[in-house]
């Protein structure tokens, strides 16, 4: 792909994550709402303040750039450094406990096993994984390995690692589709289904296919979910994108209108949509209100350059 187009897609993905997250954060934990109400909320807000979803996405991007690829110890320490600087970003219950264990000497690859039964499958490892999807989009087996490893710092349950791989793969497929070429939904879903190994997620991808023409939001929420557990939010985010792949705005508004874990579902849907359509598809009035936008854009640019410096094959 032409360098300029790739750059616009990296920018779209990271800025798209942050705006979905920041808009969604204003409705987190509430029920379903009308799309018009979400649109007017977005108009009223003077600044878009992002949460842990974007904060940890930034951490992954920083670490991949600085380490020229994945380095677990470095990524864990980057998460910890960022968390300590801004602990008020709305982190899930698990990660701060794991950061404490790592600071007490537990290894980055084993601390997460001590949380919950068999590790966490909260959506926290998928919400932040977009930079992995961007950097390793040319090699899906490597993408899977890095997604698993990045997840295992905080989310070591099989479903936790698979969620990260599923979301990273969706970002990669979106990146690899030229923005002026229509998304073939059937092919997109078949590729995800062939890629993902866990049976539960394979079933979820099949449910996405069945729901594509569905008008009733309550049915979408009942089948796909809108919760904090990955199996009830990562497929939902992919669905939000595939319903309206041509419009970043419609994707994010729809994701938020489903209620529940709105910041994370909109962050993930926004990442996929931004990776496909690029930064120019993200409304400029939203971009102008995004906190820390220049830093996020600089990271996206650096990550795009890293594709040439990192062994991504």
To ligand AR6, the closest distance from the beta carbon of 120 in angstroms equals: 3
Residue 222 burial class via C-beta count within 10 angstroms: exposed 0-12, middle 13-18, buried 19 and up = exposed
Looking at the Cβ atoms of 192 and 234, the one nearer to Mg ion is 234
To ligand AR6, the closest distance from the beta carbon of 126 in angstroms equals: 9
End-to-end CA distance of the chain: 16
Residue 53 burial class via C-beta count within 10 angstroms: exposed 0-12, middle 13-18, buried 19 and up = buried
For Mg ion, which residue of 7, 17, 51, 94 counts as binding (CB under 5 A)? 51
Residue 92 interacts with, from Mg ion, ligand AR6, none (CB under 5-8 Å by kind):
ligand AR6
For Mg ion, which residue of 52, 162, 163, 297 counts as binding (CB under 5 A)? 52
C-alpha span between 115 and 130 (Å, rounded): 24
Enumerate residues 6+ apart whose C-beta is below 8 A from 24: 252, 255, 256, 262, 263, 264, 265, 266, 267
Residue 276 interacts with, from ligand AR6, Mg ion, none (CB under 5-8 Å by kind):
none
The footprint of Mg ion on this chain (CB under 5 A) covers a number of residues equal to 5
Interface map 44-63 toward ligand AR6 (x if CB under 6 A): -------xxx----------
Residue 163, interface with ligand AR6 (CB under 6 A)? no
Give, as ranges, the residues between 81 and 120 that touch ligand AR6 (CB under 6 A).
90, 92-95, 116-118, 120
C-alpha span between 216 and 218 (Å, rounded): 5
C-alpha span between 120 and 160 (Å, rounded): 6
Q: How far is CA 235 from CA 165, 270, 274, in A?
A: 12, 13, 17
C-alpha span between 111 and 70 (Å, rounded): 18
Looking at the Cβ atoms of 83 and 188, the one nearer to ligand AR6 is 83
For ligand AR6, which residue of 12, 122, 231, 278 counts as binding (CB under 6 A)? 122
Residue 120 interacts with, from ligand AR6, Mg ion, none (CB under 5-8 Å by kind):
ligand AR6
Tokens of 67: 């380490």
Give, as ranges, the residues between 255 and 294 that touch ligand AR6 (CB under 6 A).
261, 263-264
Q: What is the dihedral of CA 134, 278, 177, 190, to 10 degrees?
A: 70
Tokens of 299: 């990271």
Select the span of 86-94, 106-114, 117-125, 163-171 touching Mg ion (CB under 5 A).
86-94
C-alpha span between 85 and 98 (Å, rounded): 16
Looking at the Cβ atoms of 205 and 265, the one nearer to Mg ion is 265
To ligand AR6, the closest distance from the beta carbon of 123 in angstroms equals: 5
Cβ(224)–Cβ(232) below 8 Å? yes
For Mg ion, which residue of 263, 282, 289, 290 counts as binding (CB under 5 A)? 263
Residues forming contacts to Mg ion in the complex (CB under 5 A) are 51-53, 90, 263
Residues forming contacts to ligand AR6 in the complex (CB under 6 A) are 51-53, 90, 92-95, 116-118, 120-124, 127, 155, 157, 228-229, 261, 263-264
């Amino acid at each position: 792909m032409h360098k300029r187009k790739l750059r616009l897609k990296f920018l779209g993905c990271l800025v798209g994550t942050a705006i979905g997250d920041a808009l969604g954060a204003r409705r987190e934990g509430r029920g379903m709402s009308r799309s018009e109400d979400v649109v007017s909320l977005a108009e009223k807000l003077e600044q878009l303040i992002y949460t842990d979803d974007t904060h940890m996405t930034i951490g992954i991007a920083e670490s991949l750039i600085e380490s020229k690829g994945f380095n677990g110890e470095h990524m864990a320490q980057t998460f910890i450094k960022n968390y300590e600087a801004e602990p008020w970003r709305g982190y899930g219950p698990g990660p701060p406990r794991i950061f404490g264990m790592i600071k007490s000497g537990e290894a980055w690859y084993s601390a997460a096993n001590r949380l919950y039964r068999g590790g966490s499958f909260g959506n926290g490892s998928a919400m932040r994984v977009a930079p992995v999807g961007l950097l390793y989009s040319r090699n899906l087996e490597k993408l899977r390995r890095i997604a698993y490893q990045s997840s295992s710092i905080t989310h070591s349950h099989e479903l936790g690692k698979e969620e990260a791989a599923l979301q990273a793969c969706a970002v990669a497929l979106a990146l690899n589709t030229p923005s002026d070429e229509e998304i073939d939904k059937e092919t997109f879903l078949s590729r995800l289904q062939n890629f993902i190994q866990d049976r539960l997620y394979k079933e979820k991808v099949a449910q996405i296919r069945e729901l594509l023409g569905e008008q009733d939001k309550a049915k979408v929420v009942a089948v796909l979910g809108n919760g904090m557990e990955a199996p009830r939010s990562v497929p939902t985010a992919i669905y939000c994108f595939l319903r309206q792949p041509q419009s970043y705005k419609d994707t994010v508004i729809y994701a938020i209108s489903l209620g529940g874990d709105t910041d994370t579902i909109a962050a993930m849907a926004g990442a996929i949509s931004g990776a496909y359509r690029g930064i120019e598809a993200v409304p400029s009035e939203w971009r102008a209100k995004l906190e820390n936008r220049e830093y996020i854009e600089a990271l996206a640019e650096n990550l795009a350059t890293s594709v040439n410096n990192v062994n991504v094959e």
